[in-house]
Chains A and B, each alone.
Chain A
Amino acid sequence: MKRLSMLFLACCLGCLGATQAQAISPEAQQHVLTAASKNLIEIGLSYHGDQIHFFGIDPVPGSDVVIRLTAAKEEVVKLSVKGKVGPFWMTVKQYEVTGSPFIYKIHASKPLDQIMSAETAKKLELGYPAVRSQMKMHLVRGDAAPEDEGIVWQGLVKIKEHANLYNIVEDPKRLEISEGKLFKHYFRFPPAATEGRYQVESFCFQKGELVGYGKDVIEIKKVGLENWITQTSQNNPVFFGIMAVLIAVGAGLLVGVLFGKGGHH
């Protein structure tokens, strides 16, 4: 029933026509109607990442779809670059990187370079080359070298991909489009995706031009004990430290009483 009503909506939107002026600004495009299986992720004790399903209706049937997941927050990443000092490997320089997204995931119905031109990709910040051009590096320590930009970029992508915070999937199987209109897919939010607001943007392209745009907002927040521990340790560190010590002493004494002799130091 839900699916039927979505299809009906799609037809209506389709009927409205797609003959608007095609500016590059995404918000000016036709609205892509989307829905998420949920908009709030709660980090509890047993949290190990979460998965959210998204559905959307392509306003221009048959067009290509690109979905992007980013976080609505600025991030300053400090990266250490190791080098050899004598026989040892240790940090020799550090860069502060700004302008790179905290999370960056893309699902596309086919390879991005087949969907749009490099110029459009750069304007809309779609794909790694576009992200790379936004990245700004600032040397904090050590001596800069010309090849550092490449090393830092590749290192950053590797760290992010390892934490499942960056990835680009250009595969129609991952982004299903039924009858050229209804698309569905899911994003996996890894455990490393911390508290904050995340946005899932849907871009529709026809013949390299942006013809539709839609956005969903997802919020991740710690709840219960996780939230309390984090908040207390950050906002009230003295109290938190004393509490950690008292709980440990209490637990230790309890063990001592329970096991009679206790103590293994």
Chain B
Amino acid sequence: MDIYLPIAGMSINFFLVLGIGGLVGFLSGLFGVGGGFLLTPLMMMVGIPPAVAAASDSNQIVAAASSGAFAHWRLGNVDFKMGLVILAGGIFGGTIGVQLVKVLRAMGNFEFVMKVVYVLMLGLVGGAMFVESLRTIRRSKGAGAEAVAAPVTESSLTRLFNKLPLKMNFERSGLNTSAIFPFAIGTTVGIMAAILGVGGGFIMVPAMIYIIGMPTIAAIGTDLFQIVLTSANVTLQQAIVNHTVDLLLALILLAGSTIGAQFGAVAGKRLKGEQIRILLAIIVLVLTVKIFLDLVITPSDLVSLAPAKGGGH
């Protein structure tokens, strides 16, 4: 069954899109991370123009994150104050990012920059996760020979942030720290959200836990809260500046990912944490290699269509 995507301007098999959404939803249900960073490359592989893929993905993330944020809000896991500071950075970064996309598209190298950023980021995250989970697996095989993981100490970065001006008291997280860092990380992730069409949770959550020093559950809840609003901003900007939001595509993806996530969550309960992480690391690394090869292998077509000025396709 084919469906015509009005903004992408192409006809595609409905179940293929639903399946991609389902696969990413399954993985994110299993691993507990957002699927944005997998979704955009997968959509590009089936021929959806990169800019439309990224923008529609942002739209889909708004939906996926709002259901999670709603649940965490009911459990009292959202630090609204921290969320708003990060959000201010996110909106600032998202707006810069959308303008960047516009410039890059006009220059014809949007796809190149997008792929380079993907390779760097996925390689870094995948590699770190792989090493960390391998270590954990080895350690657990050593059956308690070593002491339990070193207690988390206040990192030197955390101490540095305590010295920065603009101190604020974040009651829910039990922190009294400078607002500069949450704002800066919000900006960085906002820019990436626009270029890559990702929510950025896989960078934001570790940063909030390890660098800002928030409790894990509050970090996840707060992250989801700010993702809803950051992605909403990116979606809005993309719709206004680049006309690339394909609402139909986003809705099909959402339907697929919702169903997939439920199955993923069930599967996740049967695996150990480090097994899940190493699996995710492998998927991320395979994807990284694939995108990297795209950049260095001689393309089959040297001439390609550049997007028309202002148009979505």
Mask: chain B, 1-31; 1 = CB below 8 Å from A; 0 = not:
1111011011100000000000001001100
* A251/B303 contact (C-beta < 8 A), A47-B4, A90-B112, A229-B248 known: no
Indicate if the CB atoms of A245 and B7 lie closer than 8 Å: no
Contact of B66 among A47, A229, A256 (CB under 8 A): A256
Interface assignment of B178: CB less than 8 Å from any CB of chain A? no
**Is B289 part of the contact surface with A, judged by Cβ < 8 Å?**
no
| C-alpha spacing A94/B108, complex, angstroms | 8
* Residues in A whose Cβ lies below 8 Å from that of B232: 245, 248-249
Complex Cα gap A149–B280 (Å): 47
B67–A252 contact, CB under 8 A?
Answer: yes
Choose one: A46, A79, A233; the contact of B1 (CB below 8 Å): A46
What's the least CB distance linking B101 to chain A, in Å? 15
Instruction: Fill in one digit per residue for B84-126: 1 if any A CB lies within 8 Å of its CB, else 0.
Output: 0000000000000000000000011100100010000000000
B40 at the A/B interface (Cβ < 8 Å)?
no
A76-89 toward B: CB 8 Å interface, digit per residue (1/0)?
Answer: 11111111000111
Is A25 in contact with chain B by the CB < 8 A criterion? Answer: no
B296 within 8 A of A: yes
CA distance A180 to B34 in the complex (A): 65
Q: Which residues of A contact B71 (CB under 8 A)?
A: 256, 261-263
Is B271 close to A, CB under 8 A?
Answer: no
Which residue of B6, B109, B265 contacts A229 across the interface (Cβ within 8 Å)? B6
Q: How far is the CA of A172 from the CA of B99 in the complex (A)?
A: 53
Q: State the CA gap A259–B257 with chains docked (Å).
A: 13
Known A-B contacts A155-B301, A155-B303, A255-B63; A264 and B6 likewise in contact (beta carbons under 8 Å):
no
**Chain A residues near B35 (CB, 8 Å)?**
264
With a cutoff of 8 Å between Cβ atoms, the chain B residues found around residue A247 in the complex are: 63, 247, 251
Are A262 and B67 in contact, CB atoms less than 8 angstroms apart? yes
- With A91-B109, A244-B247: A154-B239 Cβ-Cβ less than 8 Å: no
Please classify the interface of chain B as helix (H, G, I), strand (E, B), loop, or mixed, using the class held by over half of its residues.
helix
Contact string against A for B residues 59-76, beta-carbon threshold 8 Å, 1 for contact and 0 otherwise: 111111111111110000
A237 touching B303, Cβ below 8 Å:
no
Q: Which of A103-162 contact B (CB under 8 A)?
A: 141, 151-152, 154-156, 158-159
Residues of B in contact, count (CB < 8 Å): 77
- Known contacts A90-B109, A229-B247: does B67 contact A81 (CB below 8 Å)? no
Q: Which residues from 48 to 107 on chain A have a C-beta closer than 8 Å to any C-beta of chain B?
A: 48-49, 76-83, 87-91, 94
Chain A minimum-CB-distance residue to B29: A264
- Given A82-B304, A264-B265, CB of A252 within 8 Å of CB of B239: no
A82 with B248: CB separation less than 8 A = no
| Contact indicator B264/A240 (Cβ below 8 Å) | no
A196 on the B face (CB < 8 A): no
Q: Which of A88, A230, A264 contacts B7 (CB 8 A)?
A: A230
Contact call B306/A265, Cβ cutoff below 8 A? no
**Residues of A close to B307: CB separation below 8 A:** 78
Complex contacts, A238 vs chain B, CB 8 Å: 236, 239-240
Q: Is the CB of B70 within 8 A of A262?
A: yes
Question: Which of A80, A253, A255 meets B258, CB within 8 Å?
Answer: A255
- Please state if B68 and A45 are interface contacts (CB–CB under 8 Å): no
Measured between beta carbons, the chain A residues less than 8 angstroms from B127 are none
Q: Is the CB of A88 within 8 A of B296?
A: yes
A192 contacts B9, C-beta separation under 8 Å: yes
Closest B residue to A84 by CB, please name it. Answer: B298
Q: Complex Cα distance A251/B62, Å?
A: 9
Closest residue of chain B to A255 (Cβ to Cβ) is B67
Determine the residue in chain A with the shortest Cβ distance to B14: A46
By the criterion CB–CB under 8 Å, are B243 and A233 in contact? Answer: yes
Query: In the bound complex, do residue A81 and residue B303 qualify as a contact, i.e. CB atoms below 8 Å apart?
Result: yes
- Chain B interface residues toward A at CB < 8 A: 1-4, 6-7, 9-11, 25, 28-29, 32-35, 59-72, 107-109, 112, 116, 199, 201, 220, 223-224, 227-228, 232, 235-240, 243, 245, 247-248, 250-251, 254, 257-258, 261-262, 264-265, 295-299, 301-309, 312
Leading 3 A-B pairs by shortest Cβ distance: A263-B68, A155-B303, A241-B239
